[in-house]
Structure 1
């Protein structure tokens, strides 16, 4: 069994159906120079960790990425593409990377695709997003300087090309920003460059290769930051967390591309800590957020986080019924086995007896934030033993934080 779930930040993660694939160095792995792969099942609430690929003559197989961070990952069809970052080579020297790796989500096997064209310069802290069968790389730090050139990889032909853009001058060279695809447009927000933190939203049209002219209100928008998370939902852009020189954030903002305006989602009660460089993925109507770095109580020390949050933007009737069962402490004996298993997973701690959720009822339209400290299994029977409730206004919706049991297992290697 694993000692715990993924921990720390500057990693990459992608959603594959009902699972989240974490790819990075969590600090919980074996003493081998290979990237770690953890998988979280959003339905069963289980973590599993894939075993490392056997070394060849004491060295890492060339088709497997080394330990690294500040890299990016995107899902295209049935493959996860890893590119760039700062990794540990076979000579144990850390260096910037321009290598492309592919991970098959069915066979769980790595490969190193042969590519042609103009390969981007090695870099870290860039952004990557996918549109159809194309991966877009933007920004980052290249050892020598920041860059604002956009590259794209056609994964059908496995060919790189640098995009010659037009229109409004491109954003300042950035690192630690986010790039999110909505429709055929790439929305770039935040990042650090030119000795300042950006709070601008810049839009790139992938059909015309043109940067669009945009203006947002500086009086009501997120503060400039880097290391935040971003995701798209129902045609709108959301950002969470991040940091700048002055502070670390745990605020949630929503951006409307039609009106080009921001709206802050006010959160009351105890929620996610101020954090940055966490992983954030969309699974259906749920956002899964985990890892990253949180700030100590004194505010001057970064602590690797191993917490996991689930934001359910549109809970099903089944989810609401399960909450009602837990809320009223009803007997489970008459329910189908799969429902009983899910109810136990929602309330069970690592070891010990299941503890029912005591959350009180709210309106049918609600946002469910689920948080669970991923405990090390070296201490069986240890319980987190806490439950937090909060009201989160987003339109008419109400949100709450609920303690959820998460289990760790180690997967057998694929045949």
Structure 2
């Protein structure tokens, strides 16, 4: 490192006498002014058929993803209590339409959603007959405590108090310690649930919301994206400067749009932009699970499409920007049955799924 000047095919160091030189190997092992130029590995295609042929040959025909371990169910009174509405002062109420985000290797934050205001007996079980307003409570789930059989939940107080919301997503802001961002969601009606009930979709004039929360200090800042309609149910992945949103409901319509939030935007209303989709991708859906098993791929699991839950598994190859359907069935014999409006998060090497609707019940 440091400053230098050209001496023909050599480099002279300015801090040394003129007769001191350093030979620079710039090419393929040869002394040269030009770096080695390698042929690109990108295909030369001129038709859609040639592009499809390249993509088909890029992946193995039997590509699959097999988890190293199965699912473990964690409930207030042990596994038998998972089928009841048992809760305690240190355990959040059963809910759906909420959001979760990992904040460390062993902790996950859970926010918002709908809970049951009243239940009724049906088919030998308790069915939710009336819903609460969107919840505004923020909980911390500790995976290590859960695996040791201890109470894993802790309620976090925030000021100013967060507005109740449903259908949003959350991300951890790596650039700021103990900060998360709550993306989108609805503060009133839950239009995806209206679709499942067979009710007509109403129009909305609400705008997209972005909230930043310091869960260590217990403070929050609300922002509005004035250029976008209300959004909910989208899947999110991020790096240090951007968050990428996939699918979800935009202005009450299910979509497969890909959008980008720029954390460095000068104004919140200018932080959101859309990207075109050039190839096959998962069908329009919302409330999917997203995992990143390695540095070159993403996995999208399930979600809501065609008014029902799905358990298909898609892989996105980052290097080629190509989607690949892995399978349409459940990943392993121990995979949960299709669940609607549950909250997904990845903590370390584990994927955490919390709550949701199973066969008409809130779990």
Alignment TM class, shorter chain as reference = 0.5 to 0.7
CA deviations 1:90-136 (Å, max 9, x no partner) are: 9997332112233455463644333223x442122221222332121
Question: SS where residue 256 of structure 2 aligns?
Answer: coil
Q: Say if 1:140 and 1:147, in contact at 8 Å, map to a contact too.
A: no
What pairs with 1:3-402 in structure 2 (closer than 5 Å)? 28-29=81-82, 34=87, 53=88, 61=89, 64-77=91-104, 79-88=107-116, 94-104=132-142, 105-106=144-145, 108=151, 110-117=153-160, 119-132=161-174, 133-144=178-189, 147-163=207-223, 169-170=227-228, 172-208=229-265, 211=271, 213-235=273-295, 236-245=297-306, 249-256=310-317, 261-267=321-327, 275-277=338-340, 280=344, 282=346, 302=359
Q: Say if 1:74 and 1:128, in contact at 8 Å, map to a contact too.
A: yes
- What is the CA–CA distance in structure 1 between the aligned matches of 2:139 and 2:353, rounded to whole Å? 24
Q: What is the deviation of 1:185? A: 2.2
Q: What is the deviation of 1:189? A: 1.1
TM-score for the superposition, normalised by structure 2: 0.54
Q: Say if 1:231 and 1:282, in contact at 8 Å, map to a contact too.
A: yes
Question: SS where residue 241 of structure 1 aligns?
Answer: strand
Count of residues paired in the alignment: 251
Q: What is the deviation of 1:279? A: 6.0
Q: What is the deviation of 1:160? A: 0.6
Q: Say if 1:126 and 1:141, in contact at 8 Å, map to a contact too.
A: yes
Q: Say if 2:291 and 2:346, in contact at 8 Å, map to a contact too.
A: yes
Q: Say if 1:231 and 1:280, in contact at 8 Å, map to a contact too.
A: no
In structure 2, relative to structure 1, the CA distance for the partners of 1:136 and 1:287 (3 Å cut) is same
In structure 2, relative to structure 1, the CA distance for the partners of 1:121 and 1:111 (3 Å cut) is same
Q: Mind listing any 5+ residue stretches in structure 1 that lack a counterpart?
A: 1-17, 35-52, 54-60, 295-301, 307-415
In structure 2, relative to structure 1, the CA distance for the partners of 1:218 and 1:88 (3 Å cut) is same
Question: SS where residue 242 of structure 1 aligns?
Answer: strand
CA deviations 1:340-380 (Å, max 9, x no partner) are: xxxxxxxxxxxxxxxxxxxxxxxxxxxxxxxxxxxxxxxxx
- What is the CA–CA distance in structure 2 between the aligned matches of 1:30 and 1:211, rounded to whole Å? 43
Q: Say if 1:181 and 1:232, in contact at 8 Å, map to a contact too.
A: no
Q: Say if 1:280 and 1:289, in contact at 8 Å, map to a contact too.
A: yes
In structure 2, relative to structure 1, the CA distance for the partners of 1:23 and 1:130 (3 Å cut) is farther
- What is the CA–CA distance in structure 2 between the aligned matches of 1:112 and 1:291, rounded to whole Å? 17
Q: Say if 2:302 and 2:338, in contact at 8 Å, map to a contact too.
A: yes
Q: Say if 1:180 and 1:186, in contact at 8 Å, map to a contact too.
A: yes
Q: Say if 2:291 and 2:300, in contact at 8 Å, map to a contact too.
A: yes
- What is the CA–CA distance in structure 1 between the aligned matches of 2:137 and 2:355, rounded to whole Å? 25
In structure 2, relative to structure 1, the CA distance for the partners of 1:237 and 1:268 (3 Å cut) is closer
Q: Mind listing any 5+ residue stretches in structure 2 that lack a counterpart?
A: 1-69, 120-129, 190-203
